[in-house]
Every structure is written in structure tokens, then in C-alpha cells.
Structure 1
């Protein structure tokens, strides 16, 4: 995998940053995107000071043209694109009668339509490299819960989208998988990571899982992976 190139959306913090760090540590050149330049710049510095190994991009996955430009910038900077990890996502958790139109649209547009934008923008390059596309969904993509209508809808959709895309793209020798984590220690939904989160999955755990998937024999495809903490908080 040395000198392969990976693009991680939502890579300036949390799971995305954890994945980027693990991949960079193992010789993969990485491009990360996020909505805020300051966050992206800080994340790039935390990954590597070598500009030949890491690229920071400001892009909002809700905007297809921004994702197209992100892929073009990656191609210009690194000359190729081998792996895409579509990680950008957000959650608003309210009863359905309190969920606003803006709450609903923000989740669907980011978690589902944004996923489509990232794949649509990158699929031509992945055909050339016979690459790998991974979406980071959630156990909320199969398990519904109270106050989760919008989030559940977006993540159920993300799982269905990714699995159907897997069937479409494997004829091009492109692998497509979805990872469905449970509780992860990140800033998601207003959480503040601390020692109290030691029982949760850590971002680097997801990074190591992604790395293992990239290492898997080309004949084998782990199309959908559920991952959860060993022991729920007691």
C-alpha cells in the first residue's frame, strides 16, 4: 500500500482524523477534507509536516461541485486516487414532532446526499486505480431508536446506497464497503471525549479496521461490517 492515496471526508476530527493518522503512519498518502479551513489546517499538522504526504481540502459534501474540485485537487497534488473513505456526517436527535425542516435537511443532505456526491465525484478515478470506497455509516443504519428519525433515515439510506453501489461497481474491480460503528469516542452530537469514554470505540480503532480492509486479498470483499464496544457502559 506504500504511496497509495486515500481521500477521507470529514477528516479534520473524530473518526476521519483517526483513520487518516493510521493510514499515514502506514505509508499511505492522505487527503482530508472538512468544512472549516482552520480545523483542516490543524488536522494536517497533526498528521504530517510533509506536504508530499498529506493534503488538506476545504469542502462541504453537500455541494457536489466542491467534491468534484476536491478530487481534482487530489489528482493534481498526488497524481492518483486509490481509496475513498466517506466519513462526513452529523446528527440531530429530537422527537419527530420537534425535528425542524432544517434539522432533517442537514442530516439527509450530509449523511446521504453527501455520500452520493463523494462517490459520484471519485468513481472515475477509482475505476482507473481499481480502488476501494468505504462509507462510514452507523449501527443506526439498522437499529432504530427514539429521537432518531432523521438520523436513522439518513443512515438506513447510507447503508442501502453503499450496498447497492457495491453491486454496481464490483464489475470494475472496485471494492465498496460500509462500516457501521456503535459508540465512538468523538465530539459527535456535542460529546466531549474524556476518560469517561474509555469504554467506547476509539477513532484509531476504526483506522486500524480500514487499514486491515485495504490489506485484504483482492478476491475478498467485506461488504458490511458492524463494530461495537466490547462492553457497554455499565
Structure 2
């Protein structure tokens, strides 16, 4: 048992205990009350365990017999989605740019009992996308779901960002899901399948110092919602997913510009605080259930839902709030630098933040997040930040 199931079993035991106590009052209990109490306790435990087993069985069969293609599946949320879809009965195809990370992810999935196949693919190349879809169908014989999960993140003041940084973000988080979704639609009609687009709260609340990311996610969310309106006639469902902050360990691979150490500190702190962020495991479970239920829209966290609600009702207020946030974030220094998170977090400030965000550090290890410069070199990492969440 895990998650809410253990508390459910304990709640069953507590209910049984309370009922037995009420039966004992006001008279002293007869000798047989001890056995009665044990019986009620056993009944409560059976109730909790039974509910847990039923839930696990239902979860394990949500995606039986289906084939799911996940972009950015070698690490981060993409990898956790592959685990969760596999645990729900699906066969998964995961794609990523790097062979080493992809092989490690597939081996880990196979070790969990997930039927997984890895394909090296740059999703910004339309020709490679067609080959990816062909390979998925050739290997498993069908395709039921496409999950657009690949992403790219660069953090810093606008003055430190070039036009190329915006182009990179749009290539990965708008044009890539556009080409993949359009190429997959006809195939998905044959299986009455679905497309899942993992956007972001940044698509609805543009966060300072993350402008390329927010702009691309905003375009992606608009594309996803429009596709959902137009594709229903052909039997293809489109699910727009809006996560808030998630603990995936992505801060290790993000490229920080301007004042990298201070930029790293605020980003890692926001992404790793338990009351503000959610775990990738929780997000993946919610996404799989929404996919199986062909839901059109899913907001992952209460904080994200609140932010969207406030922005919808009072956009001027949220804009003013973001201006305040912008003033609090690090200013553009004279000697602007650019470093991946694996380096920016090595200073005293980064180590202090790491001590406060232990959950995010642990998540990075679970999500196959490696140093952005490991096996690549600093310059290559700076030119090509990670394409995952």
C-alpha cells in the first residue's frame, strides 16, 4: 500500500476502535468485549486493505493493451510518466536525443516490468518525427496515445537572453508538439486514441526571468486547446495538462544566465518547497487517470488552480504581482555569465538552498537527472540545455 491507501487502512482501524468504545459505554465491558474489539479492528483493517487492493487493481488495468509514445521520456516527468503508464498496463515508447540516457531509462523501465522501447529522436526535426511514429507502430503494431512532454528551460533576465533562446524554446515546445500531433492524428483515429500535451502554469502566468519558456508554453497551450476543439469529430481526444511547480530535479539541467548562482537559488527553492510544489509521481498518476478518462483539461496542483483563477478574475492584479516579483529577482550584472544548474548550485548559496530542498534533490536522483555537463562538456551544455521537464 502507498499514498492515501495506508491512511485509509488506519482510518478503518480508528473507526472500528471508536465504534467499539461507544458500545462499551456507559457500562463496564463484559469479558467478551476484548474479542469484540479485536473483531471490529480486524474488520476495519480488512476494509482498508480491500479498498487499497481494489484501487491498485483498477489502476493497473487503466491502460491495458494500449501503446503510449512519450517525448522527453529519458528523465524527469517524461520518465515518471513512462513508469506510471507501464504500471497501468500500457506498453511505452520513450524518445530522447541522447542514447546513453535513453538506454538507462529503458533498462530501468524493463527492470520494473514495463514493456518499453527507446528511440533516439530530435523532436524538432519533422522528418525524424515521422520516423519515430513509424518505429512505434512497427515495434508494437499500433499507437493509442502520444504524450508531448519534452521541454526546455533557460532562466535569467530578458537582457541576458538572445533571439536564438526564444527560437529554441518555440522549436521544442510549440513546433515539435505541432508536428508530432499533426503527424500522429490520422494514426490515432484508427485506434480512437488521444494526445496529451503537458503545458505549464507558465502558459497562463508569465513568470519573470523565464520568458522563452512562458512564451512557448503559452503558444503550446493555445494549440492544445484549439486541437481539442477540432479533433473531437474524428474521435481523437486531446488532454491539456497544466502542472504547477513539480519536484523533478530539473534545476540540475536548467541553464542560468545573468547572475547564475542567485538565479539558481530562487528557482531551486521555488521548485523544491513541499507546500508549493508537487511530486512528479503525484503528477504522473493524475495525468494517466486523465488520459484513460479522455479528460480535456487537467490542472495538477491547487496552487496552479488558484493562480489561474486569480489571473482570470483579476489579470491586472496578477500583472502587478509579477512586477513585484520581477523587482525582487536578481538584476542583470555587468559581468553576465551563463552556467548550467549543476555548476551554479556549487556555491555557498546553492548548497544552502540544497539543504532546504532535499525533496527536490532526491527527486533528481529518482528521475534520472544527471549533471548537464556530464559527458558533454560545459560549452555544449550551455548551447543545448535539456529538453525535459
Q: TM-score, normalised by structure 1?
A: 0.89
5+ long unaligned stretches in structure 2: 1-62, 255-267, 305-355, 358-389
Q: TM-score, normalised by structure 2?
A: 0.55
1:208 aligned to which of 275, 285, 289: 285
1:1-234 equivalence runs, <5 A = 1-49=63-111, 53-190=115-252, 197=272, 199=274, 200-216=277-293, 221-228=294-301
State the secondary structure of the residue aligned to 2:278.
coil
Which structure: larger Rg?
A: 2
Contact 1:10 1:89 in 2 (8 A): yes
Whole-angstrom distance in 1 between the partners of 2:251 and 2:123: 18
Provide closer, same or farther for how the CA distance between residues 149 and 171 of structure 1 changes in structure 2, counting only shifts above 3 A.
same
Structure 1 residue 20, shift from structure 2 partner = 0.4
Structure 1 residue 215, shift from structure 2 partner = 2.9
Whole-angstrom distance in 1 between the partners of 2:70 and 2:102: 12
Runs of 4+ in 1 over 4 A off after TM superposition: 49-52
Structure 1 residue 223, shift from structure 2 partner = 2.0
Whole-angstrom distance in 1 between the partners of 2:145 and 2:228: 14
5+ long unaligned stretches in structure 1: none
Q: Aligned residues, how many? A: 228
Whole-angstrom distance in 2 between the partners of 1:2 and 1:14: 24
Contact 2:242 2:298 in 1 (8 A): yes
Tell me the alpha carbon deviations over residues 16-37 of structure 1, each in whole angstroms, 9 at most, x when there is no partner.
0001001111210000000100
Structure 1 residue 188, shift from structure 2 partner = 2.2
Structure 1 residue 224, shift from structure 2 partner = 2.2
